Amino acid sequence: MDKTASVGIVAPQKIPFETPLPLQNGKTLPRFDLMVETYGELNAGKTNAVLICHALSGNHHVAGYHSAEDKYPGWWDNMVGPGKPIDTERFFVVALNNLGGCHGSTGPVSPNPETGQDYGADFPMVTVKDWVKSQAMLADYFGIETWAAVIGGSLGGMQALQWAMDYPGRLKHALVIASAPKLSTQNIAFNDVARQAILTDPDFNSGHYAREHTVPRRGLRIARMMGHITYLAEQGLGKKFGRKLRSGGYEYGYGVEFEVESYLRYQGDKFAGRFDANTYLLMTKALDYFDPAADFGGSLEKAVAGIQAKLFVASFSTDWRFSPERSKELVKALIAAGKPVQYIEVESHHGHDAFLMEDEAYVKAVRAYMNNVYKDVRP
Amino acid sequence: MDKTASVGIVAPQKIPFETPLPLQNGKTLPRFDLMVETYGELNAGKTNAVLICHALSGNHHVAGYHSAEDKYPGWWDNMVGPGKPIDTERFFVVALNNLGGCHGSTGPVSPNPETGQDYGADFPMVTVKDWVKSQAMLADYFGIETWAAVIGGSLGGMQALQWAMDYPGRLKHALVIASAPKLSTQNIAFNDVARQAILTDPDFNSGHYAREHTVPRRGLRIARMMGHITYLAEQGLGKKFGRKLRSGGYEYGYGVEFEVESYLRYQGDKFAGRFDANTYLLMTKALDYFDPAADFGGSLEKAVAGIQAKLFVASFSTDWRFSPERSKELVKALIAAGKPVQYIEVESHHGHDAFLMEDEAYVKAVRAYMNNVYKDVRP
């Protein structure tokens, strides 16, 4: 692997915040840590900072490698790095693990200062609004008054949009990719099945599985297998696996027969071994709750009326989880509210996951847009 | 409820077959029963018989009620009855529970003659081809040489198509509704997740849960909840539930918040209480295995070349499980093979489940087609 084409070896840092954070659900987090990675250099005017918000199962490790032995780079290494569309030779890129996450930021696997034990199920539910608030505190920590851009795909795109609404003066651009202004009924339904798989796993133990020395692997695995199908499109799945059989013929049993079964089970097992169930539960809830228009009588146009940032919106032709129609709802509202917005619908057979892939038109569009972002902010 | 508009009170009958049935997987069923309901009268020439094949979770109870107290009629009562599109004043309608089912036909919950205990996981895997073979034996039992029509939706449509291919001289018409000539990769993937939910339920006990006095309800419930989402379309789900909350606001917990969650969980619970897990597993496998073109080098045109029946194919605009494209594959192959076929794509927001619903154009089309079937066969 050519690690020179990336930001190279990077180290995350844990940033403590000793200020209480009041949450949307009425509770207060007494203190919290955010696990963060940064790439590139903050310029003297502190105008070139870019925030990357992660999706459901993402984290702060966006680009580069943690060691020379590391086999895989961060989750958006194809997009973030020297000379890449989000160019670390131009921008100071900040990425974090969200509150409630399981990769170093305060979340269900962190100690609850009140009990000394892990929070587990007692970790308060956090929302997109809460995340953005904590990210604003992170901006303060770095002395960043205004982000050149806040960028995210899927749930990350919701954070970028919420940023533009909640802190209109603190970002110049928001890139909302493969996202939606709120979940559809079907989206919520899939999330509920995923949660029920976890909640009814006998090893879940009401969310205090760590205390009971169990892991609700079965539930997490099923949730991820199902989720994974919704991230992909038949167009891609069919191309990759079709009806290919592992052996030559049917075996009339419940082992792996079709290659796609092997792939899915592998994805489910891998995820169940690395991700925290309580984090998964609360992040799906953050998705469900996101609905900025609700505070404006259901009018998205009114919800975006205060936005000062310029918007870039991208969707993917075969994304049926957050279909192009959902992005167009946002684009229409922005246009109706007189906001500058650039929209691209990318042809892709990668479904929702396309936002992580390298479809040429997509990469080109982000590169071109980020070039313009840079023109706006360079000293 | 006006039970006079239906076939009224009906009683199923269990028909024993003491002939061994060799199955596609190489095993032989030593004997079997089929649980059957019939409506209407077989005419003297035995030309007016119609076979109805059920889908994944269906059974022999297609129309009418089992008692005066019965709250719900059979699963296709809106389509089958006196004066209805499949008119029981004209046709002798035969409906059965498929082999491997859990509603009276020989299946996993039946005693294994070799052990005296329930088959459970030892019930052999059956395929669409096996079902059709057993249905041909059922036709023989009734002295029916030729069906006026074989009709089915979804997995039932696959049986109707298989009938036309395997017994070309024994049916005049096949009605293949909301079906597909084979599952897509995504279809197989969803089936595998459903099966994994059941197979990894600690109460599954390798399929011998009856013997262990357990029921893998958790797995069945998750499988059904997920399946149910795929039977419906966002268009219908959104119209019915939208983002409606059970209480006025967010509760920041994992109980029911959105109405769609309540609906889905109810569907899952109901199903888990009434359906056998081993039956569910093997019926999803029958779906996966169905691929009549595979025996003809992947050519569906060649697979249908021997068909003598006339075909009626119907699909529904918002059905994303077996989309209109899948029906069109079949229609194209039939046309290429020079077979008479009538195709209708019905506008509906009911998704895959539309085949059970009363969308007007659909009901009209089936009625018109069945009028023509009757012209073909009336004495």
Asked if A320 is an interface residue toward chain B (Cβ–Cβ < 8 A), one would say yes
Q: Which residues of A are catalytically annotated? A: 154, 319, 352
Average pLDDT taken over every residue of chain B: 97
Nearest to B226 among A193, A201, A250 (CB): A193
Model pLDDT, residue A5: 83
Work out the burial of residue A329: count CB atoms within 10 Å of its CB; fewer than 13 is exposed, 13-18 middle, 19 or more buried: middle
Summarize the confidence of residues B357-362 as an average pLDDT.
Answer: 95
B193 and B225 Cβ atoms separated by less than 8 Å? no
Model pLDDT, residue A379: 76
Instruction: Give the list of residues 6+ apart from residue A262 with CB closer than 8 angstroms, or none.
Output: A246, A256
A264 and A225 Cβ atoms separated by less than 8 Å? yes
Model pLDDT, residue A3: 56
**Which tokens go with B254?**
């994992």
Catalytic: B352? Answer: yes
DSSP B347: -
Model pLDDT, residue B128: 98
Asked if A28 is an interface residue toward chain B (Cβ–Cβ < 8 A), one would say no
Work out the burial of residue A169: count CB atoms within 10 Å of its CB; fewer than 13 is exposed, 13-18 middle, 19 or more buried: exposed
Model pLDDT, residue B379: 76
Select which of B33, B201, B276, B319 is catalytic: B319
A189/B237 CB distance under 8 A: yes
Q: What is the pLDDT of residues A59-110, one digit of tens each?
A: 999 999 999 999 999 999 999 999 999 999 999 999 999 999 999 999 999 9
Q: What is the pLDDT of residues B87-107, one digit of tens each?
A: 999 999 999 999 999 999 999
**Which tokens go with A82?**
């020297």
Q: In the predicted model, is pLDDT for residue B3 greater than 70?
A: no
Q: What is the pLDDT of residues B147-195, one digit of tens each?
A: 999 999 999 999 999 999 999 999 999 999 999 999 999 999 999 999 9
**Which tokens go with A103?**
């990769």
Nearest to B192 among A189, A196, A264 (CB): A264
Amino acid at A311: L
Question: Helix (H, G, I), strand (E, B), or coil: what is residue B156?
Answer: helix
Model pLDDT, residue A2: 56
> Mind telling me how many Å the CA of B179 is from chain A's nearest CA?
17
Q: What is the pLDDT of residues A38-58, one digit of tens each?
A: 999 999 999 999 999 999 999
**Which tokens go with B283?**
């019926």
**Chain A environment of B204 (Cβ under 8 Å):** none
> Mind telling me how many Å the CA of B130 is from chain A's nearest CA?
13
**Chain B environment of A232 (Cβ under 8 Å):** 186
In terms of CA atoms, which chain B residue is nearest residue A230? B186
Summarize the confidence of residues B112-141 as an average pLDDT.
Answer: 96
Model pLDDT, residue B35: 98
Model pLDDT, residue B248: 84
> Mind telling me how many Å the CA of A5 is from chain B's nearest CA?
35
Q: What is the pLDDT of residues B214-233, one digit of tens each?
A: 999 999 999 999 999 999 99
Give the largest CA-CA distance in chain A: 67
In terms of CA atoms, which chain A residue is nearest residue B224? A193
Q: Helix B259-274 to helix A185-199 angle, to the nearest 10 degrees? A: 50
Q: What is the pLDDT of residues A296-307, one digit of tens each?
A: 999 999 999 999
**Chain A environment of B252 (Cβ under 8 Å):** 25, 124-125, 285
Catalytic: B130? Answer: no
In terms of CA atoms, which chain A residue is nearest residue B295? A249
**Chain A environment of B199 (Cβ under 8 Å):** 254
Instruction: Give the list of residues 6+ apart from residue B205 with CB closer than 8 angstroms, or none.
Output: B211, B212, B214, B216
Asked if B208 is an interface residue toward chain A (Cβ–Cβ < 8 A), one would say no
Average pLDDT taken over every residue of chain A: 97
Summarize the confidence of residues B8-31 as an average pLDDT.
Answer: 97
ipTM (interface pTM): 0.96
What is the rounded CA–CA span in Å between residue B299 and residue B225? 35
Pairing of strands B49-53, B149-153: parallel
Q: What is the pLDDT of residues B298-355, one digit of tens each?
A: 999 999 999 999 999 999 999 999 999 999 999 999 999 999 999 999 999 999 999 9
**Which tokens go with A277?**
């169930």
Summarize the confidence of residues A270-285 as an average pLDDT.
Answer: 97
What is the rounded CA–CA span in Å between residue A199 and residue A205? 8
DSSP B177: E
